[in-house]
């Protein structure tokens, strides 16, 4: 693998301090790796660094690190500081319960943070925190917050009761009854029943402990979400530099309208008057608003088409007229990325308000770009294409132009890094004491020819000590999404370095539908799940099986990757020797009627299941195929007939008569995106077909397996299944 020499020392940091760990504290692991091989236990022992913040004087980086305890089945996050030039980190907290969302006060003399659902602050002097003071006492708790530029106000996220009804809502005597009642859609989302929804509030910091703030949306009776669920956070709201306005992203829809639409707009809220103005762009998601430091511009991420969650992500610029009283007027809207072929992500303004930094997945790695914020746009790539790292957008720009950001790769998790002219300096070494014990492995980038003659980037990882004269089992990863990218990202779930260290050659094809190769390549999967992207997988499988050092081959995937496994099980012949499907879609008809975000299957499946049984020219319950349940499906390019007929007729569950290859089905019981009965149905079908199969259900997990002991069991089960069917078993009598 290509490496760049890092300008820093790499040593295990040992420090002494007078601070005493609180009860329940979890610190950095001292795990030993005597054989040089990463294991699931090693993976789960790594510290997880995130949310770096530069101090106002530009000298100190504040960040958090989470550590797991497998024995206690939990994790705890605490705060650290690091000199901006690098060096030894200093622990600020050693609490037994997690601390998050840490922010400097504008003068750098205090640090605000979240603990147990409330905001606290503490003075910061000489690398230490002083006595903590409680800032909020919000009955529903605080999820995230940000301070106004002058430090006089706080913007925080809390919750209000939703339209989903519980028995106690109708009768206080039914407090022990347990039920959910609804008369509309979106009654559950991702991994929870929607009993509460997010609202955002503003409050002054000068009037003692905050018990109630001003609801930006107008009150608890407003059923819009701010920020949007399930993953939107405080990044969806942004203070104006003078603290008079808040720009925010919101999908002001509820119920069925919310379930079938991605139409999220940008709004500007006047804190003094309560006036709100919509910046109407139309289409799909408009998110992540960022105000320029001079207050004259607003930028955000935007998708053009409603209902399509994988549309090209544009960077939109609004020029503002701030000369009049009230909310600034919009003078001009510009798509800064009109000529840019890839998606923009995580925009950050330069301090002079003349350009914007952003991250973008480009040809298999995530790079940092800078674009001049002018209709005559000009792009500058700031990270070289030959650097096999995934970089995030800068969290700060130093006076000399150095960018402070984070990066990772398939070889190591997130670390803080400084980027200068033709230089890269790693500042944090959170996991060096563990990673330095591991043997190195080789990674290659191969271009595989597809059946239609295109080049497909395919990463191939080899086990440590790889010897081409020996035989190795292989794993091909079938990507989820379906839109996404197999880049140089690090994962604590599907960790390819871990797989290689277990003795497997790992094959990662960026098939049709991946997002780092331009929008046309991305869009070839929508409405065509069973088409060329499946052939792309088979092309990658053929490539690796032609190597003399490859023995047996498995196909493994999650979500859409799980769908791919179930579908491939019915068509592959004898290409694969075993399968693993996590959170996979098995019955597309049933899935359509049980998932929550309806815009997704409505777009990608080509229409609704009802249409597939009707002749061309006839109409079904949905009329012209563009409406369902009275909801207009704006933006969908399909009639809901020919494409839907083909899609549902080839649902994986209709091909089980061809199944003959061992398969492991894994699912989370709290997965509401792909409900867990999809995994049960696939396993039941395999059992009835006499196919060697195993089912694992995690009742308390969602689309991902997150709890430490559950994650450890997941990894062990994953490799046990692969070893059973791919690795020759030694005769017990030998």
pLDDT tens for residues 201-242?
999 999 899 999 999 999 999 999 999 999 999 999 999 999
pLDDT at 180 over 50: yes
Closest C-alpha to 360, from 350, 377, 349, 346: 346
pLDDT tens for residues 22-49?
999 999 999 999 999 999 999 999 999 9
pLDDT at 12 over 90: no
169, 158, 285, 370 alpha-carbon torsion, rounded to 10°? -170
pLDDT tens for residues 526-544?
989 999 999 999 999 999 9
- Annotated active-site residue in 69, 158, 261, 559: 559
pLDDT of residue 732: 40
With b meaning 16 or more CB within 10 Å and e meaning fewer, what string describes 624-637? Answer: ebbbbeebebbbbe
pLDDT tens for residues 604-656?
998 888 754 444 444 443 334 344 444 444 444 444 467 888 899 999 999 99
pLDDT at 726 over 70: yes
703 is catalytic: yes
pLDDT at 161 over 70: yes
Per the DSSP assignment, residues forming a β-bridge with 196 are 161
pLDDT tens for residues 81-110?
999 999 999 999 999 999 999 999 999 999
pLDDT of residue 17: 46
pLDDT tens for residues 302-334?
999 999 999 999 999 999 998 888 899 999 999
Closest C-alpha to 303, from 261, 361, 263: 263
Q: Give the whole-number percent of the chain exceeding pLDDT 90.
A: 87
- Long-range contacts at 85-92 (CB < 8 A, ≥ 24 apart): 85/427, 86/8, 86/418, 86/425, 86/426, 86/427, 88/13, 88/15, 89/13, 89/15, 89/428, 89/430, 90/15, 90/17, 90/127, 91/15, 91/17, 91/19, 92/62, 92/127, 92/128, 92/129
pLDDT of residue 9: 31
pLDDT tens for residues 495-515?
999 999 999 999 999 999 999
pLDDT at 684 over 60: yes
pLDDT of residue 18: 65
Domains defined for the chain, CATH in brackets: 106-435 (2.120.10.30), 443-587+653-726 (3.40.50.1820), 598-650 (no CATH)
* Mean pLDDT value of segment 270-297: 95
582 is catalytic: no
pLDDT of residue 730: 62
* Mean pLDDT value of segment 3-15: 34
CB atoms within 10 A of CB 326: 14
Q: pLDDT-based confidence at 4, cuts 50/70/90?
A: very low
338 is catalytic: no
- Annotated active-site residue in 319, 528, 536, 671: 671
Per-chain mean pLDDT for the chain: 92
- Annotated active-site residue in 297, 433, 582, 703: 703
């Amino acid at each position: 693998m290509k490496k760049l020499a890092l300008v820093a020392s790499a040593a295990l940091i040992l420090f002494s301090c007078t601070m005493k760990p609180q009860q329940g504290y979890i610190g950095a692991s001292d795990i030993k790796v005597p054989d040089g091989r990463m294991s699931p236990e090693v993976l789960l022992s790594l510290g997880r660094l995130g949310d770096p913040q530069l101090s106002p004087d530009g000298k100190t980086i504040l960040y958090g690190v989470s550590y797991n305890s497998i024995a206690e089945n939990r994790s705890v996050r605490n705060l650290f500081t690091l000199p901006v030039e690098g060096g030894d980190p200093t622990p600020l907290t050693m609490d037994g319960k997690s601390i998050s969302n840490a922010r400097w006060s504008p003068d750098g003399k205090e640090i605000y943070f979240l603990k147990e659902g409330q905001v606290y602050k503490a003075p910061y002097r000489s690398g230490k925190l002083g006595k903590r003071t409680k800032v909020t006492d919000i009955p529903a708790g605080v999820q995230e917050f940000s301070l106004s530029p002058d430090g006089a106000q706080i913007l925080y996220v809390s919750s209000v009761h939703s339209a989903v009804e519980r028995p106690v809502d109708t009768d206080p005597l039914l407090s022990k009854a347990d039920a959910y009642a609804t008369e509309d859609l979106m009654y559950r989302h991702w991994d929870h029943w929607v009993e509460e929804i997010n609202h955002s509030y503003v409050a002054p910091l000068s009037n003692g402990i905050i018990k109630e703030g001003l609801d930006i949306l107008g009150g608890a009776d407003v059923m819009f979400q701010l920020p949007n669920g399930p993953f939107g956070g405080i990044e969806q709201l942004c203070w104006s530099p003078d603290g008079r306005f808040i720009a925010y992203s919101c999908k002001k829809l509820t119920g069925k309208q919310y379930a079938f639409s991605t139409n999220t707009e940008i709004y500007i809220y006047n804190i003094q008057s309560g006036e709100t103005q919509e910046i109407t762009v139309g289409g799909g998601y408009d998110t992540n608003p960022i105000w320029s430091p001079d207050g004259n511009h607003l930028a955000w991420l935007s998708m053009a088409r409603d209902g399509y969650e994988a549309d090209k992500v544009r960077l939109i610029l609004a020029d503002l007229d701030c000369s009049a009283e009230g909310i600034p007027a919009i003078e001009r809207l510009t798509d800064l990325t009109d000529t840019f072929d890839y998606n923009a992500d995580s925009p950050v303004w330069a301090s002079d308000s003349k350009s914007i930094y952003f991250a973008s997945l480009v040809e298999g790695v995530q790079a940092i770009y800078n674009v001049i914020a002018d209709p005559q746009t000009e792009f500058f790539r700031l990270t070289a294409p030959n650097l096999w790292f995934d970089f995030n957008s800068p969290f700060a720009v130093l006076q000399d132009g150095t960018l402070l950001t984070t990066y990772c790769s398939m070889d190591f998790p997130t670390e803080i890094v400084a980027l200068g002219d033709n230089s890269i300096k790693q500042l944090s070494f959170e996991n060096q004491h563990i990673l330095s014990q591991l043997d190195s492995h080789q990674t290659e980038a191969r271009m595989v020819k597809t059946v239609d003659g295109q080049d497909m980037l395919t990463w191939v990882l080899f086990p440590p000590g790889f010897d081409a004269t020996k035989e190795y089992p292989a794993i091909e990863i079938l990507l989820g999404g379906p839109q996404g990218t197999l880049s140089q990202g690090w994962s604590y779930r599907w960790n390819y370095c871990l797989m290689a260290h277990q003795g497997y050659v790992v094959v990662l094809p960026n098939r049709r539908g991946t997002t780092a190769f331009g929008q046309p390549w991305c869009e070839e999967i929508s409405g065509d799940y069973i088409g060329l992207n499946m052939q792309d997988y088979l092309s990658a499988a053929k490539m690796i099986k032609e190597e003399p050092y490859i023995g047996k081959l498995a196909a493994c995937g999650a979500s859409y990757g799980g769908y791919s496994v179930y579908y491939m099980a019915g068509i592959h012949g004898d290409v694969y020797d075993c399968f693993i499907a996590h959170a996979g879609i098995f019955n597309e008809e049933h899935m359509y009627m049980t998932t929550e975000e309806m815009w997704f299957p409505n777009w990608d499946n080509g229409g609704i299941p009802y249409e597939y049984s009707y002749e061309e020219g006839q109409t079904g319950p949905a009329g012209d195929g563009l409406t369902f349940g009275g909801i207009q499906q704006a933006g969908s390019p399909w009639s809901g007939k020919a494409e839907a007929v083909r899609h549902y007729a080839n649902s994986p569950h209709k091909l089980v008569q061809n199944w003959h290859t061992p398969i492991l089905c894994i699912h989370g019981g709290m997965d509401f995106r792909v409900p867990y009965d999809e995994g049960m149905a696939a396993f039941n079908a395999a059992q009835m077909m006499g196919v060697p199969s195993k089912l694992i259900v995690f009742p308390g997990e969602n689309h991902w397996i997150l709890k430490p002991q559950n994650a450890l069991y997941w990894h062990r089960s994953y490799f046990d299944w692969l070893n059973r069917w791919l690795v020759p078993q030694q005769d017990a009598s030998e």
